[in-house]
Amino acid sequence: MPTIEISCVEVWREVSNYIDEVVDPTLRERMQEHFKGCEHCSAVLDGMRNVVRLVGDGQAFEVPAGFSDRLKKRLEEKAGG
């Protein structure tokens, strides 16, 4: 049985849930079918995945030099003092 077509707008509404795998199996299948034939939606999906990947490894941020030492000192003042 062929899957029921889904519009781009509907795909965009669910694309984040799709990445998080919190869409129901039927919708997932319809979206998969849509991505195969729609390069715009595929680009949105891939771009969003890249965003998630880029920020997800935490490498976008640097902890300032000496942060650990200052934190440790402050905790020692509270806990040990």
Partner 1 sequence: MESHVLLACLKTSDRGPSDSLERVQGHSRIREVRLSVTTSPTESRATRTLDQEITLIERVCAGEQQLFYELISPYERSVYVAVFSLLQNEADAEEVAQEAFLKAFSHLKAFRRESKFSTWLIQIAVNEARMKRRKDRKFLYESIDGRHQNEEGDYFPKDFADWREIPSETLQRTELRQALQRAIASLDPTYQDVFVMRDIQHLSITETAETLQITEALVKTRLLRARLRMRDALAPGFDGAWSIGDGHWKKVRPW
Interface with partner 1 in residues 45-64 (CB under 8 A): 46-48, 50-56, 58-64
Quote the least distance from Cβ 9 to partner 1, whole Å: 6
Residue number with CB closer to partner 1 (2 or 56): 56
Is residue 36 a contact point for partner 1 (CB under 8 A)? no
Is residue 70 a contact point for partner 1 (CB under 8 A)? yes
- Report the chain's terminal Cα–Cα distance, integer Å: 72
Using N-to-C axis directions, what is the helix angle for 8-19 and 25-37, rounded to 10°?
A: 120
Helices (H), the chain: 8-19, 25-37, 39-56, 67-79
Is residue 37 a contact point for partner 1 (CB under 8 A)? no
Is residue 65 a contact point for partner 1 (CB under 8 A)? no
